Structure 1
Amino acid sequence: MAGARQIIDAPVFTPLPYGLWDTIQQPSADGGHWQNGVTWQDRCPAGDTTYDECIAVTGTGSPPAPPAKTSNVEQTTRGATPFTVYAQFECSPVGLADAAATGSDALARVEQGQVETAFWTGSAGGRDVVFPHLAADAEVLDAQDIVLQPVASPVVTGADVAHALGALEQELADCYRGQGLIHVPRSALPTLAAWKLARLDETSGRLVTPAGNLIVAGTGYTGTGPDGAAPAAGTAWIYATGAAFGHRSDVYVTTVRDSLDRSSNTLRMQAERTYVIGFECCLLAAHIVLGVPTE
């Protein structure tokens, strides 16, 4: 009951910028079959060089015949599994007309953080069922030997952020050779800013590193290590991946028939949305010390 006070609209909710969904690629999906999970062929080339012995010049005589060309593109079949974010609320049947809008608004306030936590930890509904994810120290294959989860390879531990980010980006360049993603918890952003390692690209509106990789600063990113352990105070884990992509469904709000609690004449409404997220080639980790430069 509102009493004597006027009913007004609440402030407009604005999600924080630089999150996961705003940074990853969002290819169009053909139908809804992706909600069973997706599979793709990952091609991570190393490449090599050769020469023509007839015209090559070494300065010390004719070069020998070049070595035979060999395979230098790693091809891996990878997969990603779906998970669902939901928000549940109660309302009177009198408010049914606003249920869909209320559900969408409630979900909008939580889904970014929940998606990012699931993608970092691999957990949904208290179970490790989200693949692939960031904090992982074991490979997971499905029944067809499709790679659902690569191992996060630590590059450096306990280093200042400039050293750690440099090592992480070099490994990413060696592995992927294209624009990748640097995943950091929000607690690490001031450290990156203090070291001048994060800048806003005014064209795209995204945060980038000095090397040009995109920074994902997730509100739900936990900062835990590949083994899932929380970092020591004053430190955090950050991760690097190749380009990432995602599909998500429309928001679904439960029907009255599914939601009515007749004992209390109350609607327990749920709004939910299904996601699947994957990334290419690399999964790298670095443990950084938080804080400003001392010199």
Structure 2
Amino acid sequence: MAQGLRKYVEAIPGRPLPYGILGGCADVRDVDDVHELLGVEWLALGCCPVRDWVDPCLNDESPGEESPGAPAQKEFCRPSVEHAEPINVYAGAECSTMGWTYEEARQHAEATLALGEQQAVEAAFWRDRLATEGQVVTPAGPVNIAAGLAALEGCLAEQYGGVGTIHVPAGAAALLGCCNLVREDPATGTLRTLAGNCVVIGAGYSAMNTGPGNLLADPGTAWLYATGPLVIRRGPAETIPDRNASVNTRTNDRRVLVERTYVVATTCVTCAAEVELCP
């Protein structure tokens, strides 16, 4: 059939991966305070250890009245200040003014952003936080995914102790099922490890797949990360420009841009493990 006889139909709809960074693992907060969207900082909570105390006076092995050296003292921890920077994502639509109206171009750009913004946020968070601050827990090289996950959860438990987040590239996600490493929590619709940590499977993570220092993973391997919990602040989607300013009168082309700002925050620790992409 000739191309000119084809019937024009609506675009094929899509939806983001269900276990991505904007899924149930993160506390996603819609905010309109521009100050929050410029970046945030806070006093870290949960990074200071809680220790047990044994009174030396009640210990059978405690010395007599003339105890040598300084008396035992309780330790104090000064909370650190943490911060998160904004991530700006956008989608742009360009067309001839003879082909699309302003409303059609705007709707296309908005739909593109809605489908792809999760992937863009994941890629930026991976590049600017995970692969920048990750401490390697597999120094001898890549291990199988079960051993890598175990090392990450051990690092998370030792340095945080609460429920954290495991970050997995989509290209390695199928391997999590080989050893029943994760299961779906029917109450929340999230993926959980046996230890209870939440698992984010990211398309943007898979596109990056870099280790600490943002070095590309070796062929046949992937990097996984563990962090504390996630709090994500999300601004409103803004369409730029308005109807009249969208047209370039020199080329008769129309451009419409839709932008949104995210601030992705996590806490305390970022652990990194290199795993083999084979069962």
**Bin for the TM-score computed over the shorter chain:** 0.7 to 0.9
TM-score (norm 1): 0.82
Task: Give 1:268's aligned residue.
Answer: 255
Hey, what's the Cα distance between the residues in 1 that align with 2:62 and 2:74?
A: 23
Hey, what's the Cα distance between the residues in 2 that align with 1:35 and 1:171?
A: 31
Higher RCO (CA < 8 A, seq sep 6+): 2
Structure (1 or 2) with the greater helix fraction:
2
- Per-residue CA deviation, residues 120-160 of structure 1 (Å, 9 max, x unaligned), is 112xxxxxxxxxx1001xxxxxxxxxxxxxx3110113111
- Per-residue CA deviation, residues 57-107 of structure 1 (Å, 9 max, x unaligned), is 65x689999822120x35111111112111111235561233432221011
Hey, what's the Cα distance between the residues in 2 that align with 1:74 and 1:281?
A: 13
Residues 159-238 of structure 1 aligned to structure 2 (within 5 Å) = 159-221=143-205, 222-238=208-224
* Residue identity in the other structure for 2:79: Q
2:111 to 89, 105, 112: 105
Residue 17 of structure 1: CA displacement? 1.2
Task: Give 1:85's aligned residue.
Answer: 89
- Per-residue CA deviation, residues 253-280 of structure 1 (Å, 9 max, x unaligned), is 1113442200122211111111111101
Q: 1:76 to 1:28 in 2, by over 3 A?
A: farther
Question: Any idea what SS the aligned residue of 1:75 has?
Answer: coil
Task: Give 1:134's aligned residue.
Answer: 130
Residue 189 of structure 1: CA displacement? 0.9
CA contact (8 A) 1:182 1:238 kept: yes
Hey, what's the Cα distance between the residues in 1 that align with 2:147 and 2:213?
A: 22
Task: Give 1:45's aligned residue.
Answer: 48
Residue 227 of structure 1: CA displacement? 1.8
- Per-residue CA deviation, residues 154-185 of structure 1 (Å, 9 max, x unaligned), is 01131112222112101101111111001011
Q: Percent identity?
A: 35
- Per-residue CA deviation, residues 227-266 of structure 1 (Å, 9 max, x unaligned), is 2111122211110000111111111111134422001222
* Residue identity in the other structure for 1:83: I
CA contact (8 A) 1:91 1:268 kept: yes
The count of residues paired between Structure 1 and Structure 2 equals 264
Hey, what's the Cα distance between the residues in 1 that align with 2:7 and 2:17?
A: 30
Hey, what's the Cα distance between the residues in 1 that align with 2:146 and 2:84?
A: 32
Residues 23-38 of structure 1 aligned to structure 2 (within 5 Å) = 23-27=25-29, 29=31, 31-38=33-40
